[in-house]
Amino acid sequence: MQVPQDGEDLSHQPWYHGTLSRQKAEALLLQDGDFLVRTSGSRGDHPVISCRWQGSALHFEVFRVALRPRPGRPEALFQLEDERFTSMPALVHSYVTGQRPLSQATGAVASRPVVRQRPLRRSFSEDTLMGNPARAESFRARKWSNSQPADLDHTGQATEAHSGPGACTTPESALLRMGSDPVLPNVPAPLGTVADSLRASDGQLHAKAPTKPPRTPSLMLPDAPGLPSTYCELVPRVPSAQGTHPGHSCSEPEAPWWEAEEEEEEEDRCFARPQGEVSFCPPGNPSSLLGPQNRPLDPKVLHVLRGLFLEHHADSTALHLLLVDCQAAGLLGVTKAQQAAMGVRSGLELLSLPHGHRLRLELLERLETLELAGALAVLGCTGPLEERAAALRGLVELALALRPGAAGDLAGLAAVMGALLLPQVSRLECTWRQLRQRHTEAALAFEQELKPLMRALDEGSGPSEPGEVALPHVAPAVRLLEGEDLEGPLEESGERLLRTLQGARQMVRNAPKFRLAAARRLQGFRPNPELREALTTGFLQRLLWGSRGARAPRADRLQKFQRVLSILSQCLEPGH
C-alpha cells in the first residue's frame, strides 16, 4: 500500500499522531497490519512505530542517530534494525511499500496506516528530535537571540507568555545571562523556559554558554518516599536570588540521582566504625508488572516482557542494565546513612571488606539470576527456528552494547555471556547454525570478539580502566573472597589468583573514577520504569520462581531451574 508523502515534515504525515501513550495507540489499532507513528514521552521523545500483528499490539522504537551539522547532510539518521534513513517518512515509506517486517523476531508487517482524526499539536521537543530543525531554530531565535538592551522587556514578556498553567512567575528582569547580554541582576528565569531553551546546540548560538548550574544532591535513592515514580528530563537548577519574595517559590524537579557529580571530600572527616552489613537490593518492593502473589513463569508477564524488550534497542537496554547494576553494586545512589553504616563510600570498596559478605552474596545471586533469565529468553521460544536464532542475536547485540568502550557494564556483560555459554543453550546446534546463516555478523562477533574478551576478563587480564569501563567485572573477586576454588592447573590458578587480587585492589582504588564514568554514561538518560523494574534482581527472582519459591534457599532454587532449562532444551532439540 502506498503511504502518502507530503514532504519530509512529520506534521504532514497522516499516520503521525504526535505524543500518544501506548494504551491510546493500542486502542486505535484494530486489525493486523494497522500501524501509526507516535512520540513516546517515556522513551525520551523518540519516535515509536505501533503496529498490530497476529492479534497483539507491538511497539518498535526508532533509534535516532544525531550527526554533526554539515552543509548538504541531514542532521540525523533514523534506524529501526539495520538500515538507516534520512527521515522518518522515508523509513516508513520503505518498510510499508516493500512489505518488509519491522523486526525479524516478530515478522510484523505494517501495511495499513491509521489516519489521525484530530489536528496535530506540535511541541518544541518534537520539532527538534524529529528532524525538523527549522521550526525549532526559529522558535529558539525568537525567544533568545535578541541581545539588544532595548529588547529585554519584550523578551521577558515572551518568556511569561510561554509559561504553562501553574508555572512559577518571576519579574521580567529574571533572565539568564548570555555572553552577548549586558550584566543582569542575579535572578533565576522560570524553570519551564530554562528546560525548553537549554539544548545541546545552544552553545553554538551564543558567544558564551549559560553559567554552570550548581550541584544537585547526589546521595538519594530513587525509591525514597516523596520522589516521583517516573523521571523527568534534566532541568538545570538555578540558584534563587537574594531578596526574592517568599511567595515566589515553586518546586523544582530534581536532577536524576545517577547524574550528580562527585561529592567533595569532607574536611576533618573522622573514621567511623561500620555499623553492620548493607543491602542494595531490598526485598518487598511493590511491582507494577507482578501481582502480590505470582506463580513462576507467568505466561502473561512473559508476553509483556517480550514486547517490552522488543520495543527497545540493544543500546537502550544496555543503559537500563547499567543503571540497575550500578545501584545493585552500590556504585550509584548510595545514601549518607548507608555510607555511615558500611564505613566506606561505595559498594565497590565494601566488596573487599569482611562485612561485605551480604553484598557479595547479592551480586552472585544477581549474576546467576540474570544468566537464567537470559537463557530462558532463548529456550522459551517454542515457535519457529528463526525465532530462537533472533533471540540469540538479540543477546549477542546486547553483549556488544555492554562491552568496554560502549556502556562499559562488565557485570551485565558477564551475565549475558553466561546465558549464551550455558550448556542448555550451547547444545542447540540447529539454532546456532541458523544464527551463522541468517545473522553472520552477530555469530562472528560472538566467536571472535566476545568469547575471547570474556575469557580475558575471567582470568583478570581484560580491560579494566575507568572511562572505558563504567562498572568492572567483580565476579572473580567476589567468588574468591567467598571461598570458591579457582579452576585450572595449580600453576595457572596461582597466577590467576594473584591477578584477581591485584584487580580487586585496583578496583577499590579506582571506585570514585568508576562512579564518575557511570554517571557520565547515564547523563541525560531517561529510563523506562517497566524495563528498569524488569531488570532488578527481586523482579527476576519472583518471575523465575514465583513469590513463594523466591524465598527458598539459593542452591535449591538454582538446581531446580537448571532442570527446567534442561527439559526445555531437550524439547526444542532432542539429543541424537
Residue 107 has pLDDT above 70, yes or no: yes
pLDDT at 305 over 70: yes
Residue with cell 568502550: 405
In a domain, 136, yes or no: no
pLDDT at 122 over 80: no
DSSP, residue by residue, 122-139: --HHHHHHTT-HHHHHHH
pLDDT, residue 292, reads: 84
* Residue 268 scores a pLDDT above 70: no
Distance CA 23, CA 175 (A): 40
Name which of 81-85, 104-108, 221-225, 375-379 the model is least confident about: 221-225
Q: Please tell me the predicted confidence (pLDDT) of residue 272.
A: 63
* Cell numbers that stand for 101 in this block: 517486517
Residues 433 and 490 reside in one and the same domain? yes
The pLDDT score that the predictor gives to residue 200 is 38
The lowest-confidence range among 64-68, 213-217, 571-575 is 213-217
Query: Do residue 87 and residue 159 come from a single domain?
Result: no
C-alpha cell at 383: 515457535
Give the pLDDT band of residue 159 (cuts 50, 70, 90). very low
Residue 9: Cβ within 10 Å count:
18
- Write out the DSSP string of 283-296: S----SSS-SS--T
Q: Is the pLDDT of residue 71 over 80?
A: no
Q: What is the mean pLDDT of the chain?
A: 76
Q: Are residues 239 and 374 in the same domain?
A: no
- Shared domain for 352 and 392, answered yes or no, is yes
What average pLDDT does this structure show over 54-71? 82
Confidence of residue 419 (pLDDT cuts 50, 70, 90): very high
Share of the chain above pLDDT 90, in %: 39
Provide the pLDDT for residue 160: 40
Note whether 433 and 548 are same-domain residues. Answer: yes
On whether the CB atoms of residues 114 and 28 are closer than 8 A, the answer is: yes
Mean pLDDT over 99-123 rounds to: 81
Would you place residue 270 in the very low, low, confident or very high pLDDT band (cuts 50, 70, 90)? low
* pLDDT of the residue at 149: 40
Residue type at 279?
A: S
Rounded to an integer, the average pLDDT of 470-489 is: 85
Using alpha carbons, select from 447, 457, 453 the residue that is nearest to residue 392. Answer: 447
How confident is the model at residue 7, as a pLDDT?
42
For residue 438, being part of any structural domain is answered with yes
What's the confidence (pLDDT) of residue 415? Answer: 97
pLDDT of residue 430: 94
Q: What is the pLDDT of residue 47?
A: 85
Report the helix count and the strand count for the chain, using DSSP H and E.
23, 8
- Using one digit for the tens of pLDDT, what is the confidence trace for 509-563? 999 999 999 999 998 888 999 999 999 999 999 999 998 888 899 889 999 999 9
What is the radius of gyration, based on Cα positions, of the chain?
26
Say how far residue 524 (Cα) sits from the centre of its chain: 10
Residue 26 sits in a domain whose CATH number is 3.30.505.10
* Residue bearing the bigger pLDDT, 468 or 223: 468
pLDDT at 226 over 80: no
Q: Which of 87, 102, 131 is a domain's end point?
A: 131
Q: Establish if 143 belongs to a structural domain.
A: no
- Structural domain contains residue 273: no
Given a cut of 80, whether residue 166 has pLDDT beyond it is: no
pLDDT score recorded for residue 230: 35
Contacts with 364 (C-beta within 8 Å, 6 or more apart), sequence order: 475, 478, 479, 482
Range of the domain at 532: 312-572
Residue 457 lies in a domain: yes
All three cell numbers of 570, joined, read 531437550
Residue 476 in any domain: the answer is yes
**497 and 382 co-located in one domain:** yes
**Domain-terminating residue out of 220, 241, 257:** 257
Looking at residue 469, its pLDDT comes to 95
Question: Do the beta carbons of residue 100 and residue 21 sit within 8 Å?
Answer: no
Lowest mean pLDDT among 167-171, 236-240, 469-473: 236-240
Report residue 567's pLDDT band, with 50, 70 and 90 as the boundaries.
very high
| Statement to judge: residues 348 and 463 lie in one domain | yes
Residue 124: closest CA among 51, 197, 189, 62: 197
pLDDT of residue 379: 94
Higher pLDDT, 156 or 312: 312
164 against 282, higher pLDDT: 282
* Averaged pLDDT for residues 76-89: 83
Answer with the one of 131, 162, 192 that is the final residue of a domain.
131
Domain count along the chain: 3
CA distances, 489 to each of 233, 421, 453, 493, 498 (Å): 53, 22, 21, 6, 14
Report residue 489's pLDDT band, with 50, 70 and 90 as the boundaries: low
Q: Is the pLDDT of residue 85 over 90?
A: no
Q: How confident is the model at residue 478 (pLDDT cuts 50, 70, 90)?
A: very high
Q: Are residues 243 and 322 in the same domain?
A: no
Q: What is the CATH number of the domain that holds 420?
A: 1.10.840.10
Task: Specify the pTM.
Answer: 0.60
Is position 484 within any domain?
yes
Of 119, 135, 123, 10, nearest to 64 by C-alpha is: 10
529 in the same domain as 456: yes
pLDDT surpassing 70 at residue 131: no
Alpha helices by DSSP H, 346-466:
347-350, 357-379, 385-402, 410-420, 423-426, 429-438, 440-445, 451-458
Phi (first) and psi of residue 40, to 5 degrees: -95, 115
Nearest to 523 by CA among 321, 309, 319, 310: 319
Task: Check residues 72 and 42 and name the one with the higher pLDDT.
Answer: 72
Angle 244-246-248 from CA coordinates, rounded to 5°: 70
The x, y and z cell numbers of residue 359, run together, are 553484598
Is 497 found in the same domain as 442?
Answer: yes
**Mean pLDDT (whole number) for 333-343:** 87
Alpha carbon of 447 to those of 203, 396, 417, 421, 423: distances in Å? 44, 10, 11, 11, 16
Q: Could you tell me which residue, 453 or 61, shows the higher pLDDT?
A: 453
Q: Which of these, 93, 89, 110, lies nearest to 101 by C-alpha position?
A: 110
Work out the pLDDT band at 44, boundaries 50, 70, 90.
Answer: low
**Cβ neighbours of residue 281 under 8 Å, at least 6 residues apart?**
328, 362, 366, 536, 537, 538
DSSP-based helix, strand, coil % in the chain, nearest 5: 45, 5, 45
Assigned domain for 469 exists? yes
Compute the distance between CA of residue 528 and CA of residue 252 in angstroms, rounded to an integer. 22
* Helices 314-328 + 410-420 axis angle, to 10: 110
Asked if 19 and 52 sit in the same domain, the reply is yes
pLDDT score of 368: 95
Same domain, 498 and 384: yes
* 322 neighbors 408 (Cβ within 8 angstroms): yes
Q: Tell me the per-residue pLDDT of 364-402, one tens digit each, with 9 for 90 and over.
A: 999 999 999 999 999 998 889 999 999 999 999 999 999
